[in-house]
Structure 1
Amino acid sequence: MSRFDADTLDAWLTHLEGLHHTEIDMGLARVEAVRAAMGMLPAFPLMTVGGTNGKGSVCAFLSTTLSAAGYRVGTFTSPHLLHYNERIAIDLAPVADEAIVAAFRAIEAARGDISLTYFEFGTLAAMHCFMAAGVDIAVLEVGLGGRLDAVNIFDADVAGVVSIDLDHEAYLGSDREAIGFEKAGIFRRDRPAFCADPNPPQRLIDHAAAVGAPLQLLGRDFGYQREAEGNQWMCWTSEQRRYALPLPALRGAYQLGNAALAIAMLDTLRERLPVSIGQVKRGLLEVEWPGRCQVLPGRPQVVLDVAHNPHAAKALASALDQMGFAANRHAVFGMMADKDIAGVVALLKDRIDHWHLAAPQLPRAATADVLADVIATAAPQATLTRYDSIAAAWQGAVRQAGDNDRILAFGSFYTVAEVLAARGR
């Protein structure tokens, strides 16, 4: 069989988009077979992070802190906002096109007749890049679920589940117990496991016990507390307490829980990869994670957030409440049709006066008319404007907003990405 080959990353990505019969194909057999054919057995420790929301932020905390400690860190996250290379980072910087193309070629040569999804190809490519670069540690973000996600072909030395809520029900189940079981699939026997959800599903706890993973729970085995006065907080684990920590550079009170989980996970590797209190503080102050309650400089205030389910929308609402007064509150809003649009709108409707509605450029997106119908029912006092594109919605919001106003762009990764593109970022 002739093998596909190309010199450019764009050509490879176009090839991968049409390679498999479906975008999502849960299961490990195919990708594990290719991993075995490639002899891909990383010798460095792996940290795997799953959860409904927050897993990307935890990966950012882990990678930034480990980098501050002087370690060479590979980080695999998804999806990307503007460029595919964002998914595969070494030392906090996206890898070059050439490294990803080399990885794709190696996978193509090894896979034989096995068909892989876009995400499975990317997972193997990330590990290929990390092994080629000789990283000291890799931080891996689960794509969907955990048990049957491609990332799970690699055994985590420490695994953390950030949160459990309803999302991707068609693949993961229709309640928190079923979803919690899927998320717990990244736990391994005799290797530290964490859950930072304040109400962990019993099936997650039971699965950890069944596989023999020592599970640590938020509030019981690790936790955090913000100081009543000032801009500091403390974090405690089973090993130690850290006081006078600076508030994370990532906005939102919920980020303290994400940071506490990252610190607790780092503690489990302290004998192999020690991290000092000063390096922890640097990680908190220097961490960046675009599109997660991200406030851009200048006026009017611009907030970007990829929140696309009610759990994330609740956290976003809390963060907006702490941002101070805005004379008029605009939203550039686009969501996927298969998401809980009404649930997201219900949580944010009281924090938005003017809605600028459009569909991101992909078939799964809800139309502006669908969004308008939901908002008109939930918030009849709000003004609605429909546009042909997210870029046009962004431009409309900018024209209307004054210096003392706020523009919130949210609803999906695609919405935020198209706003960034419209801004020339």
Structure 2
Amino acid sequence: MPINNKSHFASKSLAQWLSYLETIHLTEIDLGLTRISHVAKRLNIDFSFAQVITVAGTNGKGTTCAFIENALLGDKKTVAVYSSPHIEKFNERLRINNIDVDSQSLINAFEQIEQHRGDISLTYYEYTTLAAFLVLMERKPAFIILEVGLGGRLDATNLIDADIAVITTIDLDHQAYLGDNRESIGFEKAGIMRADQTVVIGDTDCPKSVLVHANNLKAVVSLRGDDFAIEQHKKAASPSLWRWTFGEYQINDLNKPFIPQDNVATALTVLALLNDCSFVFNTKSVNALINQTKVAGRTELITKKSLNSRVLLDVGHNPQAARYLVEYLKSQKYDKLYAVTGMLKDKDIANTFGPLTALVDKWYLGSLSMPRGASAKELAEKLLLNEDSANCFDNITEAFRMANKNSTATDLILVFGSFYTVAEVRRLLL
């Protein structure tokens, strides 16, 4: 179906459309596939032209998608990635052949959805997901990688039957929507699976709920630890080198990646299982891909002459992500660690801060100015600091500028806690 029909909505800019979409549904998050399925049927959504990979997980989705994307692009395939949220501009949510979608294509898609949805109310995320689907139907890439927004079973991306389902990790996050334990959360993420489907699971301690659901569907599962594995180099001279094994594949002497090593292993397993993918599995080609794959806001290290110290940006916003950050920081050299953070109030703030408290020398807490944003005072309370002893600021920009002012060249500033937090600082720096 073409997506360039004109109507009285055509005069809206992308910013105006996005502002409008924020007003047409009562709640920001309203999980379920009923509404979006009705509209998708009217729009004749169909991805039969592509191989589809759907990636769910508590952490690691974006980096896993990026690694697979880079491999397919290197293999001269056409590939699209749909992800959320964005860091700097909305167009980042859909990239085709590593180029962000243009605003006019999104506007045309929004216009078509508005013409077909009738009186069906869609959330911002459902509406924008359908828009991405319409653009993809027009462009027809050979491979489509869908990053699940929240959970899996009831996420808008689960409208599509994928050829390969991927679950990166499972841990506590979004408990109000997914359940308060790993078994419940695992069940929700396992909802992206289909009968007889190829499934890759990167979690080293996979909940039983996931494996039971896969078994009931007779899915063909490749499980971390059982079917594919990571082994660190045993030689003291090169402890950062590692090996990935999966069936007949054994790739040695792999470099330390810029993204989590676990996600590289999961992505490599997906590539090995893809049809029509001729990626060469040897140390040279995998290392080239490892060296190439960097993702904005994921352990992104920035050095600039205008800064007093190095800055590490990471969108980590839950306890599992914080534990990974601790291990990463232990590999870095610095004198003092200054943490700049702002978080959403519905996150597990105390347990996200917890793993980092032993490493952080000074905290710079900024309020996030949005309905779900926590105030700096609320963050200080979670850190068990009183308002006088904590460094509290009205916004992230002020918090970062003070951290930079107080730091020296041998220190490190960690900016983490939310996509919104990283986005604000990243705009200042880049």
Q: Same fold (TM over 0.5)?
A: yes
Q: Does 1:244 find its partner at 2:266?
A: no
Q: What pairs with 1:283-322 in structure 2 (closer than 5 Å)? A: 283-298=289-304, 300-322=309-331
SS at match of 2:339: strand
Q: Which residue of 2 aligns with 1:224?
A: 230
Q: Which residue of 2 aligns with 1:346?
A: 354
Contact 2:258/2:299, CA 8 A, preserved across alignment: no
Change in Cα spacing, 1:3 to 1:181, as seen in structure 2 (3 Å) is: farther
Contact 2:364/2:393, CA 8 A, preserved across alignment: yes
Q: Which residue of 2 aligns with 1:233?
A: 242
Task: Out of 173-182 and 93-102, give the one that drifted further.
Answer: 93-102
Q: Which residue of 2 aligns with 1:53?
A: 59
Q: CA RMSD in A?
A: 1.7
Contact 2:10/2:108, CA 8 A, preserved across alignment: no
TM-score, normalization: structure 1? 0.93
Change in Cα spacing, 1:227 to 1:356, as seen in structure 2 (3 Å) is: same
Change in Cα spacing, 1:101 to 1:282, as seen in structure 2 (3 Å) is: farther
Letter in 2 for 1:32: S
Q: What pairs with 1:29-108 in structure 2 (closer than 5 Å)? A: 29-42=34-47, 43-108=49-114
Question: How far is the alpha carbon of 1:238 from its aligned partner?
Answer: 2.5
Q: What pairs with 1:24-423 in structure 2 (closer than 5 Å)? A: 24-42=29-47, 43-229=49-235, 230=238, 231-250=240-259, 255-269=260-274, 271-277=275-281, 279-298=285-304, 300-324=309-333, 326-377=334-385, 384-423=390-429
Question: How far is the alpha carbon of 1:3 from its aligned partner?
Answer: 7.2
Question: How far is the alpha carbon of 1:239 from its aligned partner?
Answer: 4.1
Question: How far is the alpha carbon of 1:242 from its aligned partner?
Answer: 2.0
| CA offsets 1:83-136 (integer angstroms, 9 cap, x no match) | 001110011121111111122122222222211111111211222222212211
Task: Out of 288-297 and 44-53, give the one that drifted further.
Answer: 288-297
Distance in 1 of aligned mates of 2:9 and 2:22: 13
Question: How far is the alpha carbon of 1:362 from its aligned partner?
Answer: 1.0
Q: Which residue of 2 aligns with 1:16?
A: 21
| CA offsets 1:6-54 (integer angstroms, 9 cap, x no match) | 4411011001111111111111111111111111111100001001111
Letter in 1 for 2:182: R
Distance in 2 of aligned mates of 1:3 and 1:49: 37
Gapped regions of structure 1 (runs ≥ 5):
none
Letter in 2 for 1:417: A
Letter in 2 for 1:244: D
Distance in 2 of aligned mates of 1:383 and 1:226: 42
SS at match of 1:166: coil
Distance in 2 of aligned mates of 1:282 and 1:73: 19
Letter in 1 for 2:26: H
Task: Out of 229-238 and 199-208, give the one that drifted further.
Answer: 229-238
Contact 1:68/1:282, CA 8 A, preserved across alignment: no
Distance in 2 of aligned mates of 1:16 and 1:387: 31
Distance in 2 of aligned mates of 1:374 and 1:124: 38
Question: How far is the alpha carbon of 1:77 from its aligned partner?
Answer: 0.7
Question: How far is the alpha carbon of 1:226 from its aligned partner?
Answer: 2.4
For these two proteins, the number of residue pairs brought into alignment is: 414
Q: Which residue of 1 aligns with 2:4?
A: none
Question: How far is the alpha carbon of 1:373 from its aligned partner?
Answer: 2.2
Distance in 1 of aligned mates of 2:10 and 2:31: 26
Gapped regions of structure 2 (runs ≥ 5):
1-6
Distance in 1 of aligned mates of 2:23 and 2:134: 22
Distance in 1 of aligned mates of 2:167 and 2:315: 19
| CA offsets 1:256-304 (integer angstroms, 9 cap, x no match) | 11011111111111x4222113554332221121111111124511001
Question: % of aligned pairs identical?
Answer: 39
Question: How far is the alpha carbon of 1:5 from its aligned partner?
Answer: 4.4
TM-score, normalization: structure 2? 0.92
SS at match of 2:136: helix
Distance in 2 of aligned mates of 1:412 and 1:166: 16
| CA offsets 1:193-240 (integer angstroms, 9 cap, x no match) | 121111111111000111221122101011122223424322111342
Distance in 2 of aligned mates of 1:112 and 1:8: 22
